[in-house]
Amino acid sequence: MAFPQPLSLGDKIKEWDSVPLFMKSLPGPDEDVDDTAISALQSLAHEGTPDEIAQNFKEQGNEYFKGKRYREALGFYNQGIDAKPEDPKLLEVLLCNRAACNLELKNYGSVLRDCARAIALNSECSKAYYRSAQALLALERMDDALDACQRCLNFDPVNDSMTTLRDLVLKAKSVNEGKERQKPIRMLIQERGLIEVADPSSSASSDHKPHFEDDTESSALILPSFFLYPQYAESDIVPNFHEDTTFGDQLSNMFPPNVPAPDWDLKHEYVYGKLNIYAITRTKRLLKVGMKMTLRELLDVVKAKDGTPDGLEVREGYLSFVVLPKGEVEQRWVDEFKKSRDRDS
């Protein structure tokens, strides 16, 4: 004789989710349900104007939030927002409340998105700035967290909670910078996703090597770089490319307008504003670099992701970038590069 097997904990929880008393959120108004009690609750919850429906879900969410049942509260706030309230203040509150739930659940990207929406509705929404700063601090984006704190304090200077949070961010930033200063240069290069490559065919030692901005081993790196002009088989050395310098600033210093062109620039094509820069990763990815992008930002974009090894190569202490005039010359070089890459793969 077979006896019924006891339900697992997971199955019991699923069963409870179908009981009105324990439901984390109610089905939507268009969802078919067989349970009479649920249908009645569903009808009540979705009756009224969008603002009345949203207000009802907000109040239910608040009750769950007070009980620290953040996932359940999140479900009700979601339904309140989905009701599309017409009162911007109500929508702002729902967004901030949902952000508070996601902050507790460590869904920091969702926190930032909801706070951005709340700030778009009300540029002086202190709660949105506060929760944004909390999420950014958790993500260790200290400068962005400080910016959020300061923006709030500009219009709400007596906000003690924000002042306390700003001081906490400043302290965390100081601690992080202290840790950065203690790291040796090679470790920092690896953390930036750079791949050091020794050239066995080269017997000459480089005059320039990656180094810290100053003798105190600050977190900023100076990375010597080659800027290559394959159209004319020419190049320039930039011995001190600061990782927080934008490529646009670097290029404008090298090719300013209204100055004589280099001797090799026969057609006077190499002028800032008429050029594009490309970076080539170890796996032969070809990336067009934005002029507003800093070297540090580029390194973050190309570093290994999801366990796939990749990054910019440092050969004999130098990075390399390709500079081309926009248009036909650029397209021809890109096409030839891709053909060569595909042929070798």
List phi, psi (to 5°) of 184. Answer: -65, 160
Of 124, 152, 180, the residue at which a domain comes to its end is 180
Give domain status of residue 22, yes or no: no
| Residue 104: HSE in the Cβ half-sphere, 13 Å Cα cutoff | 15
121-174 pLDDT tens trace: 999 999 999 999 999 999 999 999 999 999 999 999 999 999 999 999 999 998
- Ranges 128-132, 156-160, 281-285, 329-333: which has the least confidence: 281-285
Q: What is the pLDDT of residue 277?
A: 97
Give domain status of residue 297, yes or no: yes
What H or E segment, with its residue span, contains residue 277? strand 275-280
Q: What is the pLDDT of residue 211?
A: 80
List phi, psi (to 5°) of 112. Answer: -65, -40
Confirm if 301 and 184 have CB atoms less than 8 A apart.
Answer: no
The Cα–Cα gap between 97 and 74 comes to 8
In this structure, is the dihedral angle defined by the CA atoms of residues 51, 55, 58 and 64, taken in order, positive or negative? negative
Both 133 and 231 in one domain: the answer is no
Confirm if 313 and 197 have CB atoms less than 8 A apart.
Answer: yes
Q: Cβ contacts of residue 182 below 8 Å, gap of 6+? A: 217
Both 200 and 271 in one domain: the answer is yes
List phi, psi (to 5°) of 56. Answer: -65, -45
Both 204 and 332 in one domain: the answer is yes
Both 213 and 328 in one domain: the answer is yes
